[in-house]
Amino acid sequence: MPTDFKKTFGFDKAKAADGVWVDLGQDTHIKVAKLGTNQYQLALMRHTRKYQAQIRVNRLDPEAMADITAHTLADSILLDWKGVVEDDTPVPYNRQNAYRLLKDYSEFRLLVEQYANDPELFQDQVDLDADIKNSLTTSNGTSSMEETNMSSSLGSTISS
């Protein structure tokens, strides 16, 4: 079967820009927007401006790249959080704290990038509903629910 590009590459533009909540476990949640949005592109251009000479000649050091990435993610991707704690102290969400945690904790930065680049998080709800409905439909065209109802009816007919 050919690839349906809408299902594979399409996404909900509102979710992409406004972000979605992701459960990190232990009562910690982050709200991430999708990589590649206009906000992301603008933030990336703004934070790479002073490094253009080094970028052109492939001389950007890893520390500067981490700084650019942390600023860009804090400005456009990591939109909020709940339950973030550092040294047993709750950390309120704000742009400065987001930048600091993204800069100081490279594994957290990579996790935020991974979620922001996960197409399933930003998929159209209509497509998700259709996929769920299709997964419940059996090869004979009836849904699992219809089969359950038919089995129940058949069982009660047989026992009568």
Residues 55 and 133 in one domain: no
pLDDT band per the 50, 70, 90 thresholds, residue 3: confident
What is the pLDDT averaged over residues 51-80?
94
pLDDT of residue 143: 41
Domain that holds residue 97: 12-122
When the pLDDT of each residue in the chain is averaged and rounded to a whole number, the result is 83
- pLDDT recorded at residue 4: 85
* Together in a domain, 36 and 85: yes
Are residue 60 and residue 29 in the same domain, yes or no? yes
The per-type count for the chain, helices as H runs and strands as E runs, is 9, 5
Strand bridging mode 89-90 / 85-86:
antiparallel
81 in a structural domain: yes
Question: 37 with 108, same domain?
Answer: yes
Q: Please, are residues 68 and 47 in contact by the beta-carbon 8 Å criterion? A: yes
**What pLDDT digit, counting tens, does each position of 100-115 carry?**
999 999 999 999 999 9
For the chain, how many structural domains are there in total? 2
Res 136: pLDDT:
53
